[in-house]
Amino acid sequence: MKQLLIFTDLDATLIDHDTYSFKEARHTLDRLRSRSIPVIICSSKTRAEIEVYRLRMGLNDPFIAENGGAIFVPGSALDLTDVDFVEKGPYHVVELGVPHADLWTVWREIKKKNFRMKGFSEMTIEEIAACTGLSLEEAALAAKREYSEPFMFLDTSDQLRLLTSLLQEKRLRITRGGRFYHMIGQNDKGKAVRILTRVYANTYPDKKIWTAGLGDSANDIPMLRHVDMPVVIRKKTGEWERVHGIDPIVYSDKPGPRGWAEVINTILQGSASIGQFQ
């Protein structure tokens, strides 16, 4: 018996880039839930934002927030004996990222070098709403950073390379999502996916874990490198994120949640060729 795990980005993947709607994937989500196939959100969004989408989508599975900053496992649902975790509210949390307070200290130091950039922590809720298209309530959730600092970079490519170098000296990194750059620690989505896949294997030793990962942006590439079936979702522009060194790889024909549903339905319809999933 095999156990399928779905790791998925949110923005422009499971939810629409502009409207944030997932209605075109709702039926497919229902199919997965009826077959007890975990849908593990793996996003640059905050814990607070992801919790809203999990509620709307009827998901109860673990999730990965802020570009692999932390893995949130509800209660004692999985065997975490091989990993370090802390308890936060209803979750067992595997923390992989740098606390936001430490990131913010570095950010303020770097800003003294006159880079033209602006972080979420420097914006009002109204400004975040304006540049994301989120409601004020949703923008407030997006501002609750725990392990990352999203920012707009308005400077030259040379300055971006300099910023990257300066942050590397602090053992920090920059990754790029669909709308913003993100300052993070040495974590990424791939590391979190690798750890959580191992946790599932330890929890279900009688099953072979088989994973699919779906994303559309550069920050999803580490995730795609650590799944059995990597899927790049088409952008609304008609293009796909450039991905090198992963073979084989699947590209969706349709963008956003339509493309997401297209690929997942194909996986479910062809599951006989890779074993029956619970």
pLDDT in tens, 221-251: 999 999 999 999 999 999 999 999 999 999 9
| Assigned architecture for domain 2-96+190-274 | 3-Layer(aba) Sandwich (3.40)
The edge-to-edge listing of strands for the beta sheet with 70-74 is: 63-65, 70-74, 91-95, 86-88
Each domain of the chain, given as residue ranges in start order, spans 2-96+190-274, 100-184
9 belongs to the catalytic site: yes
* 218 touches 246 (CB < 8 A): no
What radius of gyration do the chain's Cα atoms show?
Answer: 18
CA–CA distance, 69 with 144 (Å, rounded to integer): 13
Q: Which residues pair with 42 in a beta bridge?
A: 64
For 241, half-sphere exposure in the C-beta direction (CA atoms, 13 angstrom radius) is: 25
Neighbours of 18 (CB within 10 A): 10
CA–CA distance, 134 with 115 (Å, rounded to integer): 26
Predicted confidence at residue 98, as pLDDT, reads 97
pLDDT in tens, 77-96: 899 999 999 999 999 999 99
CA–CA distance, 142 with 181 (Å, rounded to integer): 14
pLDDT band at 270 (very low <50, low <70, confident <90, very high): confident
Predicted confidence at residue 278, as pLDDT, reads 39
Cut 0.95: pTM above it: no
Average pLDDT of the chain to the nearest whole number = 94
* 182 touches 151 (CB < 8 A): yes
Q: Which two tokens stand for residue 143?
A: 């501002």
Judge whether residue 201 has pLDDT over 50.
Answer: yes
pLDDT band at 214 (very low <50, low <70, confident <90, very high): very high
Query: For 41-54, what is the mean pLDDT?
Result: 97
pLDDT band at 19 (very low <50, low <70, confident <90, very high): very high
Candidates 9, 16, 188, 220; catalytic one? 9
CATH classification code of 100-184? 3.30.980.20
CA–CA distance, 21 with 104 (Å, rounded to integer): 31
Write the DSSP symbol of residue 235. Answer: P
Q: Which residues pair with 184 in a beta bridge?
A: 173
Predicted confidence at residue 271, as pLDDT, reads 58
Judge whether residue 116 has pLDDT over 50.
Answer: yes
For 10, half-sphere exposure in the C-beta direction (CA atoms, 13 angstrom radius) is: 25
Residue 186: closest CA among 103, 120, 250, 266: 103
Phi/psi for 212 (5° steps) reads: -125, 145
Judge whether residue 257 has pLDDT over 70.
Answer: yes
Q: Could you tell me what percent of the chain has a pLDDT over 90?
A: 93
